Structure 1
Amino acid sequence: MDPTGPFTPPTPEPVVAAPKPARQPKPLAKRVVPPRPVLSAVVVLAFVGLLYVVEAIDTVLGGRLDNDGVIPRDFSQWDNILWFPLLHGDWTHLTGNAVPLLVLSYLATSAGIKQFFQVTAVIWLTSGLGVWIFGSYGSHIGASGLVFGFLVFLLVRGIFARSALQILLAVVVFAVYGAALWGVLPGQPGISWEGHLFGALGGVLAAWGVARDARKSARTTLDA
C-alpha cells in the first residue's frame, strides 16, 4: 500500500440479527386444553357410548348385570372392581353421570391421552378398592366414582403443578360442579357415597402423581 495514497476505510461487516429463540411449548402438566382436542373428544365419546351400550344390554337381560357391581369384602366377587363403573341402575342413573363425565373427562385429557388413561386407572381402582374394603353391603355400581375423581383431579392438580391457568379452570369447575362434593358424605339411601369418597381420593392421588412425574421429568431434562 502506498503511504502517500488516499486512505480507504475498511468496509464494516454487516450486522446480522440473532435468530429469535423458538417459543417453548407449554409443559403438558400445566396445559388446560388437550393437545389433540379431536382425539380427546373421540376417546371420551367412545367411553360414554360404551356405557350406553352396556346399559342397553343390561336392559335386554332384565337388569341382571346390576348384581355384578363391587360387593364389599366378598372375595368371590373381587373382580367386579374391573367393570363396576360400566354398570348403572337405569337410564336415569346413566344419564345423570354421562353429562358431567363428558365434560370433566374431556378436561382431564389436557396432558394427553396416555396420561388420561393413567389418571382414569388410578381413580377407577382407588374407588373400587375403597368400596370393597370399607363400603356398606350391596352391589355398588355406576360411573359416579369416576365423575368425583375427575372433578377433584381438576380442582387440585393446579395446586400441585403450580399452574395459574389450571387453578383458574378449577375455580370455574368448582362453580359449576362444586355442590356435587356433598355426595362424598353419607346421605341419601341407596347412593354409594363410599364410591364418591374414594373416587375423590383417587383424584387427589392422580393429581399428586402427575405433578411428581412432571417434576421428575423436568429434573431429568435439566441434568441431560
Structure 2
Amino acid sequence: MSTSLKKQAYPILILLLAMWLVRIVDIVIPIDLNQFGLLPRTLRGLAGIGLMPFLHASFGHLIANTIPLAILLGLTVASRQRAWPVVVAILIGNGVLLWLFGRSANHIGASGLVFGLIAYLITVGIREKQIASIAVAILVGMLFGGTLLTGILPRWNSVISWDGHLFGGICGLIVGIATSRSR
C-alpha cells in the first residue's frame, strides 16, 4: 500500500474506530449515550447534529453502518481530491435538515452519512461523465442502489430513521451538484 493511500485510509479507520469505541463505552458506563442523539427542533437535540453518527443502538446497528461506510468512504477518498470537506458537508447538512424537518424521535447512527455518500457518488458520476467517476457511480449503484431507494421511503412508527436517510440522500445530491462540473 502506497504512503499516500495509507494517509488517506487513516482518517477512515479513526472515524470507524471512534464509532466502535463510543458503542463500547455506551455499554460499559451507566449513562445511555444515545440520549445525546438528534432530537428535532429541540435545543438539546442540536448536539446530535455532530454526535448522531457516533451513536448506535446495538452492535448490529453499528455493523450495519460500518461496512457500507467503510466502502463508501474508501471510494470517496480514493476518487475525490477533497473528500473530507464533502463528508463534513453531508454530515452537517443532513443533521441540520433532520433537526429542522425530521419527525419527532431520537435519531442516532451513521446511516444518514451512508445515504449521503451513496447519492453523492452517483450524482458526481452522472454529472462529470469521466471514466473513473462513472465507474464509481455504477459500482455504488449496483451495491447500494436498492438500499437507497427503499431506505428513504417513509415508515411510520418505525425506529429506523428513514427521514435521516432521506435528508442524507438530499444532502449528498446537493453536495454532489455543488462540487462537480456537469460535462
CA shift, 1:36, in A, is 2.8
Match of residue 172 from structure 2: 203
CA distance in 2, matches of 1:100, 1:54: 19
Q: 2:107 aligns with which of 137, 140, 145?
A: 140
**What are the residue-to-residue correspondences of 1:1-224 with 2, within 5 Å?**
36-62=4-30, 64-109=32-77, 110-112=79-81, 115-181=82-148, 182-187=150-155, 189-211=158-180
The 3-state SS of whatever aligns with 1:160 is helix
Distance 1:59 1:48 in 2: 17
Deviations 1:158-195 (A, max 9, x none): 22223133112211221111111110111271000111
Contact 1:108 1:154 in 2 (8 A): yes
CA contact (8 A) 1:97 1:144 kept: yes
* Distance in structure 2 (CA, Å) of the matches to 1:70 and 1:96: 19
Q: CA deviation at 1:208?
A: 1.6
Aligned partners of 2:66 and 2:31: how far apart in 1?
19
Q: Which ranges of structure 1 fall in alignment gaps of 5 or more residues?
A: 1-33, 216-224
**Structure 1 residues 205 and 35, CA gap change in structure 2 (3 angstroms):** farther
Residues 164-173 or 64-73, more deviating: 164-173
Give the number of aligned pairs.
179
Larger Rg: 1
- Identity, in percent, stands at 33
Quick one: distance in 1 between partners of 2:126 and 2:139? 15
| TM-aligned CA deviation for residue 209 of structure 1 | 2.1
Structure 1 residues 138 and 161, CA, compared in 2 at 3 Å: closer, same or farther?
same
Aligned mates of 1:172, 1:162 — CA distance in 2: 14
* Distance in 2 separating the partners of 1:146 and 1:190: 17
Consecutive aligned runs of 4 or more in structure 1 exceeding 4 Å deviation: none
* TM-score where L is the length of structure 1: 0.74
Letter in 1 for 2:121: L
Q: Give the TM-score, by structure 2 length.
A: 0.90
Q: Superposition RMSD on alpha carbons, in Å?
A: 2.1
Long gaps (5+) in structure 2? none
Aligned in 2, Cα 1:177/1:76: closer, same or farther, shift over 3 Å? closer
